[in-house]
Amino acid sequence: MTQNTPAAPAFTAKELPYAYDALAPQISEETLRFHHDKHYAGYVAKLNELVAGSPYAGRPLEEIVAAADGPIYNNAAQMWNHEFYFDQFSPAPQQRPEGALLAAIERKFGSVEEFERQMDKASVGLFGSGWTWLVADKTGELSILSTPNAGNPLREGFTPLLCVDVWEHAYYIDFRNRRADAVAALWDRIDWRVVGQRYDEACN
């Protein structure tokens, strides 16, 4: 008699690339535990449930983000968005952009400080929940893009480079309703080395 064994999940939640307390005080250990272990992991679990037996079973995450809609898209995009978000931080970040990325920022925005000001404004001004992105088009030109809910720039043909999560679960434990303060604090943990590598890959 054979026994049916349950199939392995299509996707697994990635571990953080740093300790839970490594980004404090800008992002507290409590926030990271809820954000990563509850919200992000919840999207991964729900996506596994939804893709099982669907036309998206066995397909890579980015393909699902690009092609799906409804609940499958929402959970796939939130999984992708969160992994991208967590990977851009470091307890010992490179503090400023360099090289080709710096040149692109200065060409588009005039200065790093003006870029950060515009990114802050877009993040604070996004109504409800969603994401604000620094993206590159196919020529390497930069722009700031805001997407509601689970929105992802891959759907619009852009390469994401950096993002701000303005869902309340990303900051409410630490900052309550002070979204502007939460967004401003992130710049101290953004690792511009990672963002620069993403830009270099997008341009090659």
Give the tens place of pLDDT for each residue, 62-89.
999 999 999 999 999 999 999 999 999 9
Q: How confident is the model at residue 8 (pLDDT cuts 50, 70, 90)?
A: low
Instruction: Determine contact, residues 3/34, Cβ cutoff 8 Å.
Output: no
Tally Cβ neighbours within 10 Å of residue 133.
26
SS3 168: helix
pLDDT digits (tens, 9 = 90+) for 136-172: 999 999 999 999 999 999 999 999 999 999 999 999 9
Considering the chain, what is the average pLDDT of its residues?
96
DSSP SS3 for 146: strand
pLDDT value at residue 9: 78
Which among 98, 84, 108 has a CA at the least distance from the CA of 164?
A: 84
CA angle 153, 181, 87 (to 5 degrees): 40
Domain range summary for the chain, segments of one domain joined by +: 27-204
* pTM tops 0.85: yes
Please, which pLDDT band fits residue 2 given cuts at 50, 70 and 90? very low
Mean pLDDT of 111-139: 98
Residue 170's φ and ψ, nearest 5 degrees, are -75, -20
Mean pLDDT over 43-62 rounds to 97
Query: CB–CB of 20/33 below 8 Å?
Result: yes
pLDDT tens digits, one per residue of 95-105: 999 999 999 99
The residues, ordered by sequence, that sit 6+ positions from 137 with a Cβ below 8 Å of its Cβ are: 143, 157, 158, 159
d(CA 10, CA 58): 7
Q: At 9, list the tokens.
A: 């999940």
Query: Was domain 27-204 assigned CATH 3.55.40.20?
Result: yes
Q: How confident is the model at residue 1 (pLDDT cuts 50, 70, 90)?
A: very low
Backbone angles phi, psi at 134, to 5 degrees: -95, 125
55 token code pair: 């036309």
pLDDT over 70 for what percent of the chain?
A: 96
**Strand order, beta sheet including 142-148:** 142-148, 130-136, 159-165
Across the strands, what pairs with 89? 190
Q: Grade residue 7 by pLDDT with cuts at 50, 70 and 90.
A: low
